[in-house]
Chains A and B, each alone.
Chain A
Amino acid sequence: MDMAGTVAKSGFAAAEARPRHLTEPPLVRWMLIGIALVFLALVLLLPLTTVIAEALAKGVQTYLAAVTEPDALSAIRLTLLVAAIAVPLNTVFGVAAAWAIAKFKFSGRNVLVTLIDLPFAVSPVISGLIFVLLFGAQGWFGPWLEAAGIKIIFALPGIVLATVFVTFPFVARELLPVMQAQGSEEEEAAAGMGAGGWRIFFRITLPNIKWGLLYGIILCNARAMGEFGAVSVVSGHIRGLTNTIPLHVEILYNEYQFTASFAVASLLVLLALMTLIAKNVMEWKQQQVTQRMREEVETDAH
């Protein structure tokens, strides 16, 4: 389900015709391309088509029934709700963190950069367990929370927390290089002309980072909806209450309801496809902006 993970940005521009002395003989070239394609077909396309095929194996009626039964709808609602809370939170955090790192020099800057990457390095199961250890019945704050009547683990707050933790690098990671490349001269120019902080942010900073920001948000959203490991630990798998789409898929599968399981899973595949398309559009837009920046620098250098 982690389809939108840390896929490196594709560098189409760099793949232009290579000079002859750097190019391999045709046989090697075709072999490399062949291996890549076969691998992709086996590992990516085959499973994806299987999901769709299995989902529709017993007709569209069964498919629709599986997707619209109350527990499935509840899972979809919960997933959307969690994403609706986690993604804006991480957008604000990501912008703030990227801003701080790119535009200011302070002690602990490198520590912050490393910390942002932490969720990528930690297994999602651990990410979930952290919150159980903190807020669970036997956890540090457990007794206190129980006394106050607040439920975090096996409830919405826990799922949101785990999702936020797992997805917080995406926006910051996307924005950092963009903001670092742009520097702060445009903001300084605006300040010199009398613009205050908010105006500078909304009129200068935000338009300059918007494609990178949207790209980060899309990746963050895809991961927030698709996260399994961390959410699985904190959710408690209560049907119709604390199951997100990925958890619901697993439950259906374990109950041998393969068609229903694949039908719900196809929703995630759909989400993945939409994410990929949106991601490519954003990348293309951002590339145009960077290309322009490069051209500007080049014409300046003449």
Chain B
Amino acid sequence: MHIKVERISKTFGRFEAVKDVSFEIADGRLVGILGPSGGGKTTILRMLAGLETPDSGTIYFDGHPVNDVPPQKRGIGFVFQNYALFRHMTVFDNIAFGLVVQRRKKEEIRERVARFIELTALNGLENRLPHQLSGGQRQRVAFARALAPEPKLLLLDEPFAAIDAKVRKELRTWLKNTIRAVGVTTIFVTHDQEEAVEVADEMIVVHQGRVEQQGAPIDIYQRPQSPFVASFIGETTVLDNIPSLRGFESAAGFERAIIRPEFVEVGTEREIKLPGASNRGKVRNVFFRGMHWQVDVQVGDSILSAYRSAELPPLRPDDDVFVLVHRLYAFEHGRCTVLENAAKTDPMPVSI
């Protein structure tokens, strides 16, 4: 289903949850709404489902305004954060509920439920009650229950929030594949950027009730359009004095910059290939991050974070090192510019 949201706003008392939000989602897409908690993501989702009414603005499904259509008539599947399974009904009855409401034939209901039990790998649990299931199983029941009545739009509110980290990774891949197989337009809400990047083929970043940026995850990562997006997606260090960095001397007039650890190389004189484009720094802290080192290094007045391969010899606090900043995001009046290290392309690097 094609979805168009035009300038919707929603206020709860004095709190403006959603401010003038517009976006468009093409049929069959898997879209992640990403943003910090309390940023209005769930409110947007609930307005799409018809559980809240926008104060102003219009929501269109396939070109038809649906503001006045009750949730019962919207043809939507909704998976709640805590699943909201019907606690006194068995797994089977939970999944069958939407089909019973649609007055499908008994035979058809049995067939469809069986299909979704199969699809969600819940075989053998048909007669269990929700409290007899694990978190992951409950999530799959909620998912099957939402999909069984063939919704045209599937909405998921923080679908992985209540699941432990290990199962979460498996479920993400599984969810993505299953949604692909069913082919339903899907919107999910999350505050976890890793989750959004991994699952969604399109992301909408929401902050303080506004849409900050919409696009493919890789585009949002590489070309953040606002300081918020740059700082929210990926690890970041904020820097005030850009020209103090070697290679960025000419970058005056920017208010501040954001640097990601993956843009920063830290090493001894022998390891850094372009010492002419590097600053001298002192190691402050070293953390082992499982697959790599995170090195916090002091350059002038600022502390930058950098990743360093676990294959390289470890650095220790107070080591003197070279710090090569490849790239940074510079901001001026809320606009973002990507700056590359100018000294890297210098034809005659001067060694110090």
Interface, chain A (partner B; CB < 8 A): 185-186, 188-196, 199, 203-204, 207-208, 289, 292-293, 295-296, 299-302
**7 interchain pairs (CB within 8 A)?**
A188-B51, A189-B78, A189-B86, A192-B49, A193-B98, A207-B88, A300-B82
Interface residues on B, range: 20 to 34
- Which of B76, B82, B88, B145 is most buried by chain A, counting CB atoms within 10 A of its CB? B88
Least CB separation from A301: chain B residue: B162
Contact present for B84 and A199 (CB under 8 Å)? no
B98 CB to nearest A CB, Å: 4
State whether A192 and B86 are in contact (beta carbons under 8 Å apart), knowing that A296-B130, A296-B131, A302-B164 are contacts in the complex: no
A207 to B88, CA, bound (A): 7
**Contact status B135-A194, CB under 8 Å:** no
Taking the nearest CB of chain A, how far is it from the CB of B143, in angstroms? 12
A199 vs B102: C-alpha distance in the bound complex, in angstroms?
Answer: 12
| Other A-B pairs, 7, CB within 8 Å; known A188-B84, A192-B72, A293-B87 | A188-B49, A188-B51, A191-B70, A193-B98, A194-B102, A195-B101, A300-B135
Residues of chain B within 8 A (CB-CB) of A185 are 80, 82, 84
Whether B87 and A192, one on each chain, are in contact in the complex, defined by CB atoms closer than 8 angstroms, is no
Complex Cα distance, B72 from A185, in Å, reads: 14
Q: Is B134 an interface residue (CB 8 A)?
A: yes
A interface, over-half SS: helix
Query: From residue A87, how far is it (CB to closest CB) to chain B in Å?
Result: 24
Which chain B residues have a beta carbon within 8 Å of chain A's beta carbons? 49-51, 70-74, 76-78, 80, 82, 84-88, 97-98, 101-102, 130-131, 134-135, 138, 145-146, 149, 162-164
B134 contacts A299, C-beta separation under 8 Å: yes
Q: Which residue of B lies closest to A186 (CB)?
A: B84
The smallest beta-carbon distance between A107 and chain B, in angstroms, is 11
Asked if residues B84 and A193 are in contact (CB atoms below 8 Å), the reply is no
**Least CB separation from A302: chain B residue:** B164
Q: What is the distance, in angstroms, from A196's C-beta to the closest C-beta of chain B?
A: 7
Q: Residue on A with the closest CB to B132?
A: A292
Given A295-B131, A302-B164: A195 in contact with B87 (beta carbons within 8 A): no
A191 to B146, CA, bound (A): 12
Residues of B within 8 Å of A193, CB to CB, are 77, 97-98, 101, 145-146, 149
Output the least CB separation between A299 and chain B (Å): 6
A207 to B87, CA, bound (A): 9
The one of B71, B82, B131 in contact with A191, judged by C-beta atoms closer than 8 angstroms, is B71
Which residues of chain B have C-beta atoms less than 8 A from A289's C-beta? 87
Contacts of B86 in A (CB 8 A): 186, 189-190, 203-204
**A302 to B135, Cβ gap below 8 A?**
yes
**Nearest-CB residue, chain A, relative to B79:** A189
Partner of A194, one of B49, B80, B149: B149
Shortest Cβ distance from residue A37 to the other chain B in the assembled complex, whole angstroms: 37
Residues of A within 8 A of B146 (CB): 192-193
How far apart sit A185 and B46, CA to CA, in the bound complex (Å)? 11
Are B78's CB and A194's CB within 8 A?
no
- List chain A residues, Cβ under 8 A from B135: 299-300, 302
A188 to B50, CA, bound (A): 10
Q: Are A192 and B77 in contact (CB under 8 A)?
A: yes
